[in-house]
């Protein structure tokens, strides 16, 4: 049963065909990695899922609902959360507030004017946010200003912000880029724990160590088309993949 | 129920604020500001700045057209006096509503853009309103003369209740209490306290948190399932209502409305007040409004005679030089002082006077061993703003 199904998606920027008839099925409850060389169209594809870009043609169906021609906040309310390549967080707010905001969004919807009930009384949301921060190992910094975090911590914070919403589908754009090996391994462990809860994940990743420790299925994108798709062991041995992506090097 | 949702520090802050405002005539007497006309201005512009701060301090949208709502509130209040009643309650109620309605209309259009484009759009709308008030809308605004009360005004409610003002020009009265002088100040003061309370509720609520999120990262908000437009628009309307209310109160204490209240300099003034006091803080805007109205009053009343006296300890030639230099900064030229003061604040205290107070408190706390720093009621920005 596929949670996200992408059919014949095309997207051009001027003369450049960024996505060329992409078809993709993401099965519910799996970790699906999308790999490919730089400029293959991976981020463009993810942007089409969250409403940042609109495909020229084709359809993107999520849980029986089209994700095209609706606003990003509606897509999120439908159950899709995204971690960006450059962390998008609320830099002026504390870590706790950063995680409470998505929790409020999940509970109260896209717009609520709840002025009379102070934040101090929202102990449920606060507790949930604190748990989430503890999960990603940031609970000691809960009252710090998010903008002052290191890049790795910002990524973990953004992950916490997405997870607190208990999304049906979690999109991750290079979640370990620029991380030290130890941090990368921590992130892999964290993502494994998330996957164990049954969250469906789509991961764009360059680090093959991450891909092969996490992914249950892999799609390889090159020049805007899916050139190969399958289980990790099949992809590892596929000559076309090695040709396109790894320049013939052996894994 | 409502009190239980307020923290102890907030209750102390609200209590101290109320006490300080109500005791204003006594506290401010030593610096020569303890008279009702000036105190009324403190309270009214305090409300104006409090509302502006909800928009600018929380969401970061810098409006350069808030005087339009102030002016609309004033006109509405004077028309209410003319048509309905001299009681200030319907006047300020309708002025607030008109401010909100006008803000909804302008905000709906201007909030399609952000940053400098938003500021320019609001400025354009305010200047349009100002020019309309002088030209096409003269039947409503009475043009350059300004909208005034007349003996022959209908005042339907007053007439229905058998209230007759006789041959004198009526002034607004709150169930028999004349709204000039100290009663007028206390009427404004009570409303200021209510406005401060409401502003505090917004700052401490999830809604206020969302408004700060709008300032911080709208992209993240959208991808977090939040619709940023209605949040920004709600903040704009609330601040427009505060401005309308302030405009209404100006008319209550002095039943006259002129278009100059809508001019861009008036819009700029509330920006200065908020930044001078400390934008994004609870108390800052009120302090900024007080400081600017106070200095305006002091410096604009100086003249050459007073300056000559101030420098008469110097030899005569030096006295004349000093007087001719300093006279540029007083009287009509007091804006020069304001500009210099504003530059100093922005350069050395970007967080406004509130930042200055906080630094002073930390410094004093360190000097006395840091013991009683925590005993002072929290006048700092909302804890989540981070005290910067």
Per residue in B14-23, pLDDT tens?
999 999 999 9
Per residue in B92-145, pLDDT tens?
999 999 999 999 999 999 999 999 999 999 999 999 999 999 888 988 898 888
Task: Considering only the beta carbons, identify the residue of B5, B217, B223 that sits closest to A50.
Answer: B223
Question: Are A116 and A192 in the same domain?
Answer: no
Per-residue tokens: B342? 């504003």
Average pLDDT over residues A239-246: 72
Could you tell me what percent of chain B has a pLDDT over 90?
A: 57
* Band of pLDDT at residue A154, cut at 50, 70 and 90: very high
How far apart, in whole angstroms, are the C-alpha atoms of residue A221 and residue B15?
64
Average pLDDT over residues A92-107: 96
Average pLDDT over residues A182-196: 87
Average pLDDT over residues A194-214: 89
Average pLDDT over residues B214-226: 95
Average pLDDT over residues A84-96: 94
* Angle, vertex CA B381, rays to CA B380 and CA B387, nearest 5: 80
How far apart, in whole angstroms, are the C-alpha atoms of residue B379 and residue B381?
7
ipTM computed for the complex: 0.91
3-class DSSP state of B179 = coil
Per-residue tokens: A9? 């998606």
**Is there a contact between B386 and A102 if contact means CB atoms under 8 Å apart?**
no
Question: Are A125 and A54 in the same domain?
Answer: no
Is B365 inside any structural domain? Answer: no
* Band of pLDDT at residue B341, cut at 50, 70 and 90: confident
Short-list A2, A1, A49, A3, CA closest to A22: A49
- What is the arrangement of strands in the sheet containing A225-230, beginning at the earlier edge strand? A80-83, A169-173, A200-204, A31-35, A217-222, A225-230
Question: Are A151 and A116 in the same domain?
Answer: yes
Q: Which of A66-75, B20-29, B294-303 has the lowest mean pLDDT?
A: B294-303
Residue in chain A lying closest to B58 (CA) = A92
Q: Which residue range(s) make up the domain with A148?
A: 89-165
pLDDT exceeds 80 at position B237: yes
**Is there a contact between B201 and A118 if contact means CB atoms under 8 Å apart?**
yes
Could you tell me what percent of chain B has a pLDDT over 70?
A: 94
Q: Return the residue in A74, A78, A79, A105 with the most chain B beta carbons within 10 A, the one to mutate for interface testing.
A: A105
pLDDT exceeds 60 at position B1: no
Q: What CATH number is attached to the domain comprising A176?
A: 3.40.50.300
Per-residue tokens: B227? 């619709």
Is A84 inside any structural domain? Answer: no
Question: Are A138 and A218 in the same domain?
Answer: no
Question: Are A59 and A159 in the same domain?
Answer: no
Question: Are A157 and A174 in the same domain?
Answer: no
pLDDT exceeds 80 at position A5: yes
Is A54 inside any structural domain? Answer: yes
The pLDDT of residue B121: 96
Cβ-based interface (< 8 Å): residues of A facing B: 50, 71-73, 76-77, 81-82, 84, 88-94, 97, 100-102, 104-106, 108-122, 145, 161, 165
**Is there a contact between B223 and A104 if contact means CB atoms under 8 Å apart?**
no
Is A136 inside any structural domain? Answer: yes
Question: Are A137 and A105 in the same domain?
Answer: yes
Question: Are A160 and A188 in the same domain?
Answer: no
How far apart, in whole angstroms, are the C-alpha atoms of residue B69 and residue B95?
9
Distance in Å, alpha carbon of A77 to nearest chain B alpha carbon: 5
Q: Which residue range(s) make up the domain with B194?
A: 3-263
How many other CB atoms are found less than 10 A from the CB of residue B101?
17
* Band of pLDDT at residue B329, cut at 50, 70 and 90: confident
The pLDDT of residue A246: 58
- Looking at every residue in chain B, the average pLDDT score rounds to 88
The pLDDT of residue B63: 95
Please list the residues that pair with A4 across neighbouring strands. Answer: A26, A62
Task: Considering only the beta carbons, identify the residue of B6, B204, B213 that sits closest to A90.
Answer: B213
Question: Are A251 and A210 in the same domain?
Answer: yes
Is B293 inside any structural domain? Answer: no
The pLDDT of residue B321: 86
Is B311 inside any structural domain? Answer: no
Task: Considering only the beta carbons, identify the residue of A93, A110, A114 that sits closest to B213.
Answer: A93
Per-residue tokens: B377? 């009621």
**Is there a contact between A92 and B222 if contact means CB atoms under 8 Å apart?**
no
The domain total for chain B is 1
The pLDDT of residue B291: 92
**Is there a contact between A116 and B222 if contact means CB atoms under 8 Å apart?**
no
* Band of pLDDT at residue B5, cut at 50, 70 and 90: low
The pLDDT of residue B374: 39
Distance in Å, alpha carbon of B127 to nearest chain A alpha carbon: 31
B384 touches chain A (CB under 8 A): yes
* B 181-220 residues with CB < 8 A to A: 198, 201-202, 204-210, 212-213, 215-217, 219-220
* Band of pLDDT at residue A2, cut at 50, 70 and 90: confident
The pLDDT of residue A132: 93
Question: Are A116 and A237 in the same domain?
Answer: no
Average pLDDT over residues A32-40: 89
Is B367 inside any structural domain? Answer: no
Q: Return the residue in A74, A81, A104 with the most chain B beta carbons within 10 A, the one to mutate for interface testing.
A: A104
- Dihedral sign of CA atoms A87, A90, A94, A96 in order: negative
User: How many CA atoms does the CB half-sphere of B5 hold within 13 Å?
Assistant: 18
The pLDDT of residue B386: 34
* Band of pLDDT at residue A245, cut at 50, 70 and 90: low
CB-CB contact of B106 with B232 (8 Å): no
With a CB cutoff of 8 Å and minimum separation 6, the contacts of A108 are A114, B206
Is B104 inside any structural domain? Answer: yes
For A220, phi then psi, to 5°, come to -110, 125
Question: Are A69 and A131 in the same domain?
Answer: no
DSSP designation for B59: I
Q: Return the residue in B58, B100, B206 with the most chain A beta carbons within 10 A, the one to mutate for interface testing.
A: B206
CB-CB contact of A171 with A81 (8 Å): yes
Is B376 inside any structural domain? Answer: no
Task: Considering only the beta carbons, identify the residue of A89, A108, A117 that sits closest to B5.
Answer: A117
Question: Are A68 and A187 in the same domain?
Answer: yes
Is B99 inside any structural domain? Answer: yes
pLDDT exceeds 50 at position B376: no
Task: Considering only the beta carbons, identify the residue of B7, B220, B226 that sits closest to A88.
Answer: B220
Size of interface A-B (CB pairs under 8 A): 118
pLDDT exceeds 50 at position B382: no
pLDDT exceeds 60 at position B169: yes
Is B178 inside any structural domain? Answer: yes
* Band of pLDDT at residue A120, cut at 50, 70 and 90: confident
Please say which residue of A139, A165, A191 terminates a domain: A165
CB-CB contact of A99 with A157 (8 Å): yes
Please list the residues that pair with B178 across neighbouring strands. Answer: B173
Average pLDDT over residues B20-30: 91
Q: What CATH number is attached to the domain comprising B130?
A: 1.10.3470
The pLDDT of residue B2: 44
The pLDDT of residue B164: 76
The pLDDT of residue A104: 95
- Looking at every residue in chain A, the average pLDDT score rounds to 89
The pLDDT of residue B312: 80
For B162, phi then psi, to 5°, come to 75, 20
The domain total for chain A is 2
**Is there a contact between B212 and A92 if contact means CB atoms under 8 Å apart?**
yes
Distance in Å, alpha carbon of B54 to nearest chain A alpha carbon: 13
**Is there a contact between A101 and B222 if contact means CB atoms under 8 Å apart?**
no
pLDDT exceeds 80 at position B305: no
Distance in Å, alpha carbon of A204 to nearest chain B alpha carbon: 18
pLDDT exceeds 80 at position B168: no
Q: Which of A125-134, B82-91, B176-185 has the lowest mean pLDDT?
A: B176-185
* Band of pLDDT at residue B242, cut at 50, 70 and 90: very high
């Amino acid at each position: 049963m596929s949670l996200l199904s992408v059919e014949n998606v095309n997207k051009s920027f001027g003369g450049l065909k960024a996505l060329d008839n992409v078809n993709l099925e993401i099965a519910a409850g799996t970790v699906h990695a999308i790999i490919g060389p730089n400029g293959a169209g991976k981020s463009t594809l993810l942007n089409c899922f969250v409403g940042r870009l609109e495909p020229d043609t084709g359809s993107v169906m999520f849980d029986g609902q089209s994700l095209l021609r609706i606003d990003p906040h509606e897509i999120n309310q439908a159950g899709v959360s995204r971690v960006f390549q450059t962390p998008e967080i609320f830099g002026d707010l504390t870590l706790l507030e950063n995680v409470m905001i998505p929790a409020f969004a999940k509970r109260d919807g896209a717009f609520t004017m709840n002025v009379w009930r102070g934040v101090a009384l929202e102990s449920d949301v606060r507790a949930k946010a604190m748990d989430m921060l503890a999960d990603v190992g940031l609970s000691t910094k809960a009252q710090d200003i998010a903008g002052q975090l290191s890049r790795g911590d910002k990524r973990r914070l953004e992950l916490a912000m997405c997870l607190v919403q208990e999304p049906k589908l979690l999109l991750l754009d290079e979640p370990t880029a620029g991380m030290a090996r130890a941090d990368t391994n921590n992130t892999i462990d964290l993502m494994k724990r998330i996957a164990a809860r049954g969250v469906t994940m789509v991961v764009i990743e360059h680090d093959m160590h991450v891909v092969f420790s996490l992914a249950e299925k892999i799609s390889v994108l090159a020049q805007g088309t899916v050139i190969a798709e399958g289980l990790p062991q099949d992809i590892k041995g596929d000559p076309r993949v090695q040709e396109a992506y790894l320049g013939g090097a052996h894994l | 129920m409502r009190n239980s949702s307020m923290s102890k520090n907030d209750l102390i802050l609200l209590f101290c604020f109320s006490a300080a405002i109500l005791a204003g005539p006594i506290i401010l007497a030593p610096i020569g500001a303890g008279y009702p006309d000036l105190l009324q201005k403190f309270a009214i512009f305090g409300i104006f700045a409090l509302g502006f701060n909800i928009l600018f301090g929380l969401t970061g949208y810098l409006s350069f057209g808030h005087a339009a709502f102030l002016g609309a509130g004033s006109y509405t209040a004077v028309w209410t006096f003319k048509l309905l009643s001299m009681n200030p309650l319907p006047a300020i109620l309708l002025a607030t509503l008109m401010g909100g309605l006008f803000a909804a209309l302008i905000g709906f259009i201007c909030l399609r853009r952000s940053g400098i484009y938003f500021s320019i759009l609001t400025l354009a709308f305010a200047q349009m309103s100002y020019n309309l008030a002088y030209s096409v809308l003269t039947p409503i605004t009475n043009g350059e003369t300004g909208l005034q009360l007349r003996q022959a005004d209908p005042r339907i409610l007053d007439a229905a209740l058998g209230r007759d003002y006789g041959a004198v020009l009526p002034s607004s009265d709150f169930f028999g209490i004349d709204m000039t002088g100290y009663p007028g100040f206390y009427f404004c003061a009570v409303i200021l306290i209510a406005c401060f309370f409401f502003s505090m509720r917004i700052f401490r609520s999830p809604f206020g948190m969302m408004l700060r999120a709008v300032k911080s990262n709208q992209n993240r908000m959208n991808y977090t399932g939040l619709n940023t437009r209605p949040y920004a628009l709600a903040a704009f309307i609330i601040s427009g209502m505060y401005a309308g209310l302030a405009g209404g109160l100006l008319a209550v204490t002095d039943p006259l409305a002129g278009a100059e209240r809508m001019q861009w300099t008036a819009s700029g003034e509330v920006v200065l007040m908020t930044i001078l006091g400390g934008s994004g803080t609870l108390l800052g805007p009120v302090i900024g409004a007080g400081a600017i109205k106070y200095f305006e009053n002091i410096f604009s009343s100086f003249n050459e005679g007073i300056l000559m006296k101030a420098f008469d300890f110097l030899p005569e030639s030096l006295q004349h030089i000093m007087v001719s230099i300093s006279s540029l900064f007083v009287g009509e030229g007091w804006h020069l002082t304001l500009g210099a003061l504003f530059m100093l604040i922005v350069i050395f205290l970007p967080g406004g006077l509130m930042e200055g107070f906080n630094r002073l408190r930390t410094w004093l706390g360190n000097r006395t061993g840091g013991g009683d720093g925590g005993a002072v009621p929290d006048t700092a920005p909302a804890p989540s703003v981070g005290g910067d």
